């Protein structure tokens, strides 16, 4: 509760000149919280959408963005979007899986070969299935376009990780998601579920030795300052659902709601391109900042997961329907 009040009282991070010009009170103030620094494409594109919304609604709708966990950690923001303290939140598939378990199905180890498969699944049957589950309890819903987080890579500060056996005993931070804890336990690591807001400090103080995230996040969150190696594991793909509080979204007049959702969905499509481009370019920047990259024997990881019955366990948890949708796109898993 304290963090909510603190966050809402704070000035918006990026008040644009346009919004200052439109100083008269908006009729609809929408609040959006997320967990990433200002320099991440998710924030940049969302801010562009906010500017477009203000302009196209003649200032009637203001989308105020609270980046960088200003409103609290992911668990707090998930609660806030459910109870209407905020209108929007972008949890990753992992973060929302604490509420909607099937949402972590895209994070089954080594499910996707490339982005073509990712978007075929998430803009298709897998995404539809998850979207329905998100909506079921009646509090929140996901906008049509999912935003990208990326393929996740493992960083650490000890010896480089090149094979699954190198994971044994490694203290690794994972997002607060049962699937992630289970997957890294299956690899004989010692996973610790920690919210993103605490990751830099956890690495700096050596509470954990390792973490895993897409390269754009490793860059914007400056994790290269507290990590030495990056193993290019591509072990899972992760994305952000653009979640709305249903009551607030649907209480907007149709014309205004349409501007809001169209602006956000189109920004999401552009954000996907940004991440793709960054994935290709950011490695050189991270190397300049002292990180060393190495390839990994991904087959050793898959074999270890199979052996630990990771795939069969999670197939049962997610259910035949969801698993079938995923295999329909990526082929037989495991
Ligand atoms: O917490 C993470 O690692 C992050 C930023 O990737 C997510 O939001 C899942």
Q: Got the DSSP string for 75-86?
A: HHHHHHHHHTSS
Pairing between strand 61-66 and 28-33? Answer: parallel
Ligand 1 atom having least distance to the Cα of 196: 1
| 3-class secondary-structure state, position 305 | helix
Answer whether 189's CB lies under 8 Å from 310's CB.
Answer: no
Kindly state if the Cβ of 219 falls inside 6 Å of ligand 1: no
pLDDT tens for the chain, residues 1 to 334? 334 444 344 444 444 455 444 446 899 999 999 999 999 999 999 999 999 999 999 999 999 999 999 999 999 999 999 999 999 999 999 999 999 999 999 999 999 999 999 999 999 999 999 999 999 999 999 999 999 999 999 999 999 999 999 999 999 999 999 999 999 999 999 999 999 999 999 999 999 999 999 999 999 999 999 999 999 999 999 999 999 999 999 999 999 999 999 999 999 999 999 999 998 889 999 999 999 999 999 999 999 999 999 999 999 999 999 999 999 999 999 7
Residue 144's nearest CA partner among 60, 266, 58, 25 is: 266
Alpha carbons 96 and 93: distance in angstroms, whole number: 5
Q: How far is the CA of 91 from the centre of ligand 1 (A)?
A: 8
Task: Give me the residues paired with residue 89 across strands.
Answer: 33, 243
Distance from chain centroid for Cα 70: 16
- Residue written as token pair 């390792």: 210
Interface TM-score (ipTM) > 0.85: yes
Q: How far is the CA of 95 from the centre of ligand 1 (A)?
A: 8
Backbone φ, ψ for residue 232 (5° rounding): -80, 85
């Amino acid at each position: 509760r304290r963090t909510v009040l603190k966050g809402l009282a704070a000035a918006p991070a990026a008040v644009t000149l346009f919004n200052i010009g439109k100083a008269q009170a908006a009729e609809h103030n929408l609040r959006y919280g997320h967990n990433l620094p200002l320099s991440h494409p998710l924030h940049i594109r969302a801010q562009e959408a906010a500017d477009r919304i203000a302009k196209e609604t003649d200032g009637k709708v203001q989308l105020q963005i609270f980046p960088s966990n200003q409103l609290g950690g992911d668990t707090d923001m998930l609660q806030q979007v459910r109870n209407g303290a905020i209108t929007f939140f972008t949890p990753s598939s992992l973060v929302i899986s604490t509420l909607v378990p099937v949402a972590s199905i895209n994070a089954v180890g080594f499910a996707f070969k490339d982005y073509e498969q990712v978007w075929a699944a998430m803009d298709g049957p897998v995404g539809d299935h998850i979207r329905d589950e998100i909506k079921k309890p009646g509090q929140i819903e996901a906008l049509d376009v999912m935003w990208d987080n990326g393929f996740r890579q493992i960083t650490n500060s000890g010896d480089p990780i090149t094979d699954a056996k190198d994971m044994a005993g490694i203290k690794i931070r994972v997002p607060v998601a049962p699937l992630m804890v289970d997957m890294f336990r299956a690899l004989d690591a010692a996973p610790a579920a920690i919210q993103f807001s605490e990751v830099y400090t956890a690495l700096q103080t050596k509470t954990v030795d390792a973490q895993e995230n897409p390269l754009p996040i490793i860059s914007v969150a400056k994790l290269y300052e507290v990590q030495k190696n990056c193993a290019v594991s591509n072990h899972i793909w992760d994305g952000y659902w653009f979640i709305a509080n249903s009551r607030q979204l649907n209480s907007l007049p149709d014309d205004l709601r349409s501007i809001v959702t169209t602006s956000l969905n189109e920004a999401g499509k552009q954000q996907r391109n940004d991440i793709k481009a960054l994935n290709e370019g950011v490695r050189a920047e991270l190397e300049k900042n002292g990180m060393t990259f190495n390839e990994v024997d991904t087959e050793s990881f898959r074999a270890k997961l199979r052996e630990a019955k990771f795939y069969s366990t999670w197939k049962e948890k997610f259910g035949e329907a969801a698993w079938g949708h995923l295999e329909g796109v990526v082929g037989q898993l495991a």
